[in-house]
Copies of this chain bind each other. A is one copy, B any other.
């Protein structure tokens, strides 16, 4: 598009016509007619195949019962789903499993990283990292006496905080409030130069922006299954461990599915080879069925096309804010540069909670994070540029008319 003149809705239509991922939108269930969902940062859309997958599983539950463990594909799902997700994460098929929740996987990854670096006792993280990640670390360190967490203040550089006492650099790839994205490659390289491991939480990046886990040299990573990855509300999470570390780690959180041969029922834990040892309990068979519908889409999509379209959708919001099309009083909270942004674009407004509530009433689903962030979660798989245009137009109307001052929006929305 021509960046010297204002972008029009017709320009957006042209972008959509040229979109190589256009056909993927049809693989997702539409939501309510007329509603624009920009909440891929919270709950991604439902793949149409999720229902058929769940129907198959319900049928197996009904007919097979315990035989499903041996005669269906239930037990293999963590490995199989992980292999299908690996390309969009920039990982190899044998480096990713789907299991448990993001927080539980963070616990496993951080415990493993600390164990691999026993002579050191500092974890470097950020004050603005997603709070659950901090909670995991704050309580886990009790299992590693003498270990403490150094929090880099907001806006501070990570690099100077990493020294020869640092065991692990433990970061969210993307700031959950403003989408600011770290460069995994650079931070990982510098951490390695100083002898530190890295543990990355890609929840607000995976399925939207590059993770490049193998190319960046990342040691451990985890992420959410239900945001951009579209695995369904509360979907199982994923976990990545670089191949070079897998067989060196004895998991602190161990269970039978991580045993080398669980059905021998040996008394002693012998960790399985590779990623298997990072499994703990019985897989969530029904939840995996829904998640697999999403993984089957990710296995067919070209990651570069996803990242290019995602950047284009985000850049469109930036352009619209620049040309005043987003309405008065709103500014960009995220970076102008797509390679510095994660899965959403955040705008800033002093009455963000009320504006998000008013957007909801106008059938635009965005989300609020304190203190003043309005987040538009973008999916390269199902969003069209014209939907972004229409959402921003509705925002402009709300701001111009000050609709958000309506008392029914005073409570805001928390999630």
Contacts and interface: CB of A to CB of B under 8 A. Distances in A.
B132 A281 contact: yes
Contacts of A70: 413-415
A267 interface: yes
Interface string A285-301: 11110100000000000
Contact of A233 (B68, B139, B263, B280): B68
A229 to B, nearest CB: 13
Contacts of A250: 139
A102 B63 contact: no
A59 to B, nearest CB: 9
A138 interface: yes
A255 B286 contact: no
Given A234-B284, A236-B284, A46 B66 contact: no
Contacts of A32: 63
Interface string A149-182: 0010000000000000000000000000000000
B286 A234 contact: yes
B42 A285 contact: no
A263 B414 contact: yes
A226 B75 CA distance: 14
A135 B259 CA distance: 8
Interface stretch (A204-212, A308-316, A364-372): A364-372
Given A250-B139, A253-B104, A127 B263 contact: no
B139 A142 contact: no
Contacts of A244: none
B140 A101 contact: no
Give the 4 A-B residue pairs with the shortest CB-CB distance, closest first: A101-B281, A103-B255, A143-B143, A42-B66
Interface in A240-296: 250-259, 262-269, 280-288, 290
A413 to B, nearest CB: 6
Interface stretch (A49-57, A388-396, A401-409): A49-57
Q: How large is the interface on A (under 10, 10 to 19, 20 to 34, 35 or more residues)?
A: 35 or more
A54 B287 CA distance: 11
A219 interface: no
A104 B280 contact: yes
Copy number in the complex reads 2
A285 B67 contact: no
A61 B233 contact: yes
Contacts of A287: 234, 284, 286-287
A269 B68 contact: no
Nearest to A102: B281
A289 B61 CA distance: 15
A69 interface: yes
Nearest to A291: B286
A220 interface: no
B252 A143 contact: yes
Contacts of A237: 281
Interface string A36-66: 0101001111100011001001101111011
A131 B284 contact: no
Interface in A85-111: 100-104, 107
A279 to B, nearest CB: 9
Interface string A365-386: 1010110000000000000000
A409 to B, nearest CB: 14
